[in-house]
Amino acid sequence: RPTPPPADQRFENGPLAVIDVEDGHVLAYCVGGLVLDVPAKSLPALIDWTLTEARLGQPRLHRNGRDGDPLLVLTPAALERYGLPTALSDEERRAGRLPDGHKAVRQLTRADWKLTRRGLGPWARIYRPAEGAKRHCVQLCIPAWNALDAREWDDRNAPRLPSMHPADLARYLGAYAQRVMTPRGTAAVTGLELMTALHPPTRAEKDPVTGAFTRALNEDALTAVHDVVECEVPDEHPLLKGRFARHHLRTPAEMLMEEPYDWCRPLTDDECMRQYLVAIDVNMSFAAAANGLTVGLNGPTHLTGNPPFDPSLPGSWLVDLSHVDLSRVRVDGRPVDGGRLPSPFTPKGERPTGPAWYATPTVAYAVELGFEVAPVEAYVRTRTGRYLDAWYKRLRDAYVTTMADLGVTTGLGGAEFLDAMARSRQSDPVMALLVGAIKATAKGGIGKLRQRNRGQVPYHEPWPALERETWRPDIRAAVLANQRIGLHRKLMKTAAAADLYPVAVGTDAVVYPSPGPT
């Protein structure tokens, strides 16, 4: 085996610490069971201590990236100690932050610390301007202010985080940081940040004449905010202002509708005789759909005049796929009953009725099934790459490692695997939560590529997410199309090989009628 790299002494105490108060003493619970005494008496002093003495942080994930800032997780006792409320008022919760006039905010300002635009909220970043390559930044995570939403970080049916001991919380979030990255906000936000951390948009390049270092763009990254395409953006986008009548519902010929499956059908008489319905879930399906997927890295090029379909060009194609009849398709030489399978071209599983916009993987699947396609027009990207491969591998490895901690390894099969899965959630409740957080990171990161305006600003006005290089609805559409197509390919193979047909598909779960409970 290769020799592991030496530990970075700058961050020898790990990526984060949970700050708690016991018997009047402030303690920092770190990864690996380490507990540090914290001498800081005020919030500014706590930030100073973190940067000068705590040795917290995380080495960069890419040589052109930046080191991860230290993260402090504050318990309710720590909030009281440092003059912060243990719960936000209704007004503060709506604003997502403490008011600028709060005592703690004024303390930081007097000590020359700054806050980002989101202020002192559940996920706060406290910093001073960088000195050269050295950053002075600490992030706070405040679970009592709902920083760790149960939908992503906890067991929503039986929440564990509110009663979790600081040492267990440090183990949980520390394992997440080491296997994924130091949390930067919600799991979805962290999923998006992980993409950038693994593919930084810029690098330092030395000028051969002057010897000075300047910023250069990385060819394999998302480096700029590009023009958007009308069919790819959500209804509230400024580009659509005045484009349609009020309350108009865009049709598939006006809007790219690449979404996961939400389909069901009536049971046949034979299926009604079976006593059980068995749901089969495809783990990490959205992350897997990103693996090996070619996506666009630049802005769109508009193709008109019935352009020929090119599967190597990611983008959106206006094409009529209503002629695709699954009953005419043979899989490994065997026919399938197309009437009992969802269409691969619509989220509702209904057969298309005319021209519609599709992402490249969807049109390529129609060609794979043996049907002719004749696009009317397209918006494609000419600079391409497998941007999400490293992101997928990082999340896959985190998932596989964590499942192994729970006793579920890749070598198991059949009943042995099912037994291990049944025992896994009870074997280590802390690591069981980590599995859910990794899944939420994968799914949420893809969703963030088309983050919508959720009442942040007036309708049809720009919202902050549009300023990001990673606001790329075309990449999200390609991943979701690839996920749905990959699932449909499994349905076809199963139907042909075993004469088994699903009665419903919800996102990544397939429901089959069965004579028994397995």
Q: What is the pLDDT of residues 350-372, one digit of tens each?
A: 999 999 999 999 999 999 999 99
Please, what is the average pLDDT of the chain?
A: 94
For the cut 60, the answer to whether the pLDDT of residue 169 exceeds it is yes
CA gap 228, 244 in Å, rounded: 17
Query: How many Cα neighbours within 13 Å face the side chain of 162?
Result: 11
CA gap 199, 391 in Å, rounded: 9
Mean predicted confidence (pLDDT) in 250-262: 97
Query: What are the DSSP E strand ranges found in 367-489?
Result: 377-380, 384-385
**Residue closest to 67 by CA, chosen among 181, 180, 232, 235:** 181
Model pLDDT for residues 185-196, shown as the tens digit of each residue: 999 999 999 999
Model pLDDT for residues 92-118, shown as the tens digit of each residue: 999 999 999 999 999 999 999 999 999
CA gap 223, 227 in Å, rounded: 13
The pLDDT, as a whole number, for residue 134 is 74
Largest CA distance in the chain: 80
For the cut 60, the answer to whether the pLDDT of residue 492 exceeds it is yes
The pLDDT, as a whole number, for residue 205 is 87
The pLDDT, as a whole number, for residue 211 is 79
Q: Taking the mean position of all CA atoms in its chain, how far away is CA 90?
A: 29
**Residue closest to 18 by CA, chosen among 52, 48, 54:** 54
Put the strands of the sheet holding 16-22 in their side by side order.
35-37, 25-30, 16-22, 71-74, 134-141, 123-131, 114-115
Model pLDDT for residues 257-275, shown as the tens digit of each residue: 999 999 999 999 999 999 9
Query: What are the DSSP E strand ranges found in 42-197?
Result: 71-74, 114-115, 123-131, 134-141
Phi, psi (5° rounding) for residue 58?
A: -140, 130
Q: Taking the mean position of all CA atoms in its chain, how far away is CA 281?
A: 18
The pLDDT, as a whole number, for residue 1 is 41
The pLDDT, as a whole number, for residue 482 is 98
Model pLDDT for residues 386-438, shown as the tens digit of each residue: 999 999 999 999 999 999 999 999 999 888 998 999 998 788 999 999 999 99
Model pLDDT for residues 132-142, shown as the tens digit of each residue: 667 899 999 99
Q: Which residue carries 């939560």 as its tokens? A: 433
Sorted by sequence, the CB contacts under 8 Å of residue 221 that are 6+ apart come out as 196, 199, 200, 201, 297, 387
The pLDDT, as a whole number, for residue 440 is 97
CA gap 490, 510 in Å, rounded: 10
Band the pLDDT of 210: cuts 50, 70, 90.
Answer: confident
For the stretch 92-98, contacts whose Cβ atoms lie closer than 8 Å and that sit 24 or more positions apart, written own/partner, are 93/145, 93/146, 96/121, 96/122, 97/121, 97/124
CA gap 176, 194 in Å, rounded: 12
